[in-house]
């Protein structure tokens, strides 16, 4: 009988967790519904303020804000902080979708719209649902995860096509070379799949790519 009660407690806990997940979806939709066109920028939380990539993220986000785009980040430090800062300094919508983690992820002060998540997959839906483009700055496993998920969703027609731009040719060229030499040559992907991805070192080129994608 005691074992049966334990199983029932577990089931009840799992059922209530569904309401928590639903609540995160509802909060995200309510807060971002009127956001307007926005660009999601990913990158490492470990990049410091004196890094060229930090400065580039501030510059890029500022340019996007000046052209009427909101900026969405993971809400933490490093590149995320830089992008939120650049958008906020130009009086743009600066969105931070923060995830609760045991280390590294501390909300930055520059997001003027902040939402906190317990669940990565809910947060990922918000990144995609409200973005008209993805910009991938240098980062680690989390950044790679977001990059490849976006490419996969576009490749499989699960979401509408949108620009996925790698910023930093020195950082990303080795990965792109491996994709071409291994994945493409071994026929793991199709040649047209490479068209999903752009790579540049120029923030203004990214602005042009984004504007072109939505017909501006």
In a 13 Å sphere around the CA of 117, the CA atoms on its Cβ side amount to: 25
Given this model, what pLDDT does residue 107 score?
A: 87
At which residue do the structure tokens 């669940």 appear?
Answer: 119
Range of the domain at 179: 2-213
Q: What is the DSSP letter of 191?
A: G
Given this model, what pLDDT does residue 215 score?
A: 84
Q: Identify the CATH number of the domain in which residue 47 sits.
A: 3.40.50.450
Q: What is the DSSP letter of 161?
A: -
Residue-by-residue pLDDT tens, the chain, 216 positions: 444 444 445 555 778 888 999 999 999 999 999 999 999 999 999 999 999 999 999 999 999 999 999 999 999 999 999 999 999 999 999 999 998 776 656 789 999 999 999 999 999 999 999 999 999 999 999 999 999 999 999 999 999 999 999 999 999 999 999 999 999 999 999 999 999 999 999 999 999 999 999 987
Domain count, the chain: 1
Question: pTM above 0.85?
Answer: yes
Given this model, what pLDDT does residue 147 score?
A: 97
User: What are the E-state strand segments in 45-129?
Assistant: 70-73, 94-99, 113-117
């Amino acid at each position: 009988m005691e074992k049966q009660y334990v199983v029932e407690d577990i089931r009840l806990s799992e059922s209530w967790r569904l309401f928590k997940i639903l609540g995160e979806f509802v909060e995200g939709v309510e807060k971002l519904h009127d956001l307007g066109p926005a660009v999601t920028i990913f990158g490492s939380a470990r990049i410091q303020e004196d890094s060229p990539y930090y400065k580039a993220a501030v510059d890029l986000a500022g340019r996007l804000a000046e052209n009427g785009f909101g900026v969405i980040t993971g809400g933490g430090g490093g590149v995320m902080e830089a992008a939120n800062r650049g958008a906020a300094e130009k009086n743009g919508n600066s969105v931070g979708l923060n995830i609760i983690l045991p280390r590294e992820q501390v909300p930055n002060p520059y997001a003027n719209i902040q939402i906190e998540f317990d669940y990565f997959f809910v947060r990922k839906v918000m990144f995609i649902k409200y973005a008209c483009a993805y910009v991938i700055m240098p980062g680690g496993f989390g950044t790679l995860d977001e990059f490849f998920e976006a490419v996969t969703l576009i490749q499989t027609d699960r979401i509408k096509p949108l620009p996925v731009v790698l910023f930093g040719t020195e950082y990303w060229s080795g990965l792109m070379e491996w994709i071409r030499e291994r994945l493409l040559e071994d026929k793991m992907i199709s040649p047209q799949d490479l068209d999903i991805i752009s790579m540049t070192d120029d923030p203004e080129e990214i602005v042009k790519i984004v504007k072109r994608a939505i017909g501006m």
